[in-house]
Amino acid sequence: MPRVIVIGAGAAGTMAAIFAARSGAKTLLLERTRDGGRKILISGGGRCNVLPMRLDESRFVTDSSPNLLRKMVRAWPLAEQRAFFENDLGIALVEETDSSKLFPASHRARDVRDGLLAYAAGNGVQLIMDTMVTDIIPAASGWRVERDGADPLEADAVIVATGGLSVPNTGSDGFGLRTLAALGHEMHTTYAALTPITANAPALNSLAGVSLTVTLTARSAERTATATGGFLFTHHGYSGPSVLDVSHVIVRSRAEGDSSARLTVRWTPLDDAEWERALKPNGARTVTGAVRAELPDRLAAVLLQVANVDPARTLSELRREERLRIIETLVRGELPWHGDEGYKKAEVTGGGVALSEVDARTMQSKRHRGLFICGEALDAFGPIGGYNFLWAWATGRAAGIGAARA
């Protein structure tokens, strides 16, 4: 019976352990925290967005080959992943159609975390919590896993599922990334992804708490990202799904010294022509009245101030250049930004091990036989909405099966 050690009891690691054990391996799952799966617990506001309802592969971000990414995602199709949770784990999933997300029917992230760990144990996985792995060393018999204050362990195959650098208080400290780099793997520069953006804009300070649905575009010299979704003004800047989904462009532009990156927003579904009609003279209707019909009152007032238009004026009093300034602000308004909230608030880590470093079918390292890599340590991430769990489940499963057969 092959001996497999999985390092990291998060989403990818627990799934890897399950499928290694189901494939006939004697499987040991090591976790540095006392309970494991902490990112599962905090995901989706404590509800755990298990999967997206629909999958658009083009929304994944990677500096590696998109073709390799597609192969990895397609190895375990969305429908089969959903069936695993509902049929194998017995966790009913419900659709949130407005956001195209799948949640556990209980809306409790703990049910997902506990269900995965219980299923792993039920399939023979030995769980060792509160143990710190300090090194992974090739050995004559396979691999030796060194631990802090405990005896080393030996295995025929090791699966690295240690995550990245995001939300460090959940146990992500970059150990796996450092170790994989030391073992000679090509690494793509890591960066905080899906993180709030900060701003120092006096005109917008009064809007903290205002939320709405927008279309947001981040554009730098090298990259462009656009997302439609929730937007929230915070005391420090901006958050919400649309902001998180484009934040990597801002983060990377800062890291690369490109201060020209722009953040523009379309505040409503209305385009130029539709706003032209909405701002046409209409009796005694004011500019404020026309804009407030489509936007929250506080935001409407600030945007008219940004456009340098007197909100008390009637639409019939508007000059053409004023109307064009309003439309430009509402359809292609520029949002000032200062920085980002980094790994502390990032939902995932961008970059990591180049996808070309692993076999797309098994996740086995091309540099070291018996070493497998899955989840956030690999150079890929998706948008808000279950994509990153889908990536973790798919690559974890492939690594577990591959390790058991190595």
Tell me the three state secondary structure of residue 120.
helix
Domain boundaries, the chain: 3-191+349-405, 196-340
125's torsion region: left (phi>0), alpha (psi -120 to 50) or beta? beta
Say if CB 397 and CB 19 are below 8 A apart: yes
Write phi, then psi, for 208 (nearest 5 degrees).
Answer: -50, 130
Say if CB 255 and CB 279 are below 8 A apart: no
Which alpha helices (H) appear in 217-374, and where do they start and end? 241-255, 272-278, 287-292, 297-306, 320-332, 342-345
> Which residues, 6+ apart, have CB-to-CB distance to 44 below 8 Å?
101, 103, 109
In which residue are the tokens 């809306």 written?
Answer: 107
**Length in residues, the chain:** 406
Say if CB 36 and CB 86 are below 8 A apart: no
- Work out the angle between the directed axes of helices 109-122 and 11-22 (0-180°, nearest 10): 30
Look up the CATH superfamily of 3-191+349-405: FAD/NAD(P)-binding domain (3.50.50.60)
Q: Which helix (H) or strand (E) holds 341?
A: none
**CB-count burial class (<10 Å; 0-12, 13-18, 19+) for 173:** middle
Say if CB 330 and CB 118 are below 8 A apart: no
Question: In the 8-state DSSP scheme, what is residue 218?
Answer: E
Cα→Cα distances 139→40, 88, 362, 363, Å: 33, 36, 21, 20
Alpha-carbon gap, residue 227 to 267, rounded angstroms: 12
Write phi, then psi, for 291 (nearest 5 degrees).
Answer: -75, -35
| 406 residues of the chain, pLDDT tens digit each | 999 999 999 999 999 999 999 999 999 999 999 999 999 999 999 999 999 999 999 999 999 999 999 999 999 999 999 999 999 999 999 999 988 999 999 999 999 999 999 999 999 999 999 999 999 999 988 999 999 999 999 999 999 999 999 887 776 789 999 999 999 999 999 999 999 999 998 888 889 999 999 999 999 999 999 999 999 999 999 999 999 999 999 999 999 988 889 999 999 999 999 999 999 998 889 999 999 999 999 999 999 999 999 999 999 999 999 999 999 999 999 999 999 999 999 999 999 999 999 999 999 999 999 999 999 999 999 999 999 999 999 999 999 999 999 8
Say if CB 6 and CB 30 are below 8 A apart: yes
Q: Which fold has domain 196-340?
A: Helicase, Ruva Protein; domain 3 (1.10.8)
Q: Compute, in degrees rounded to 10, the torsion defined by CA atoms 257, 380, 144, 171.
A: 70
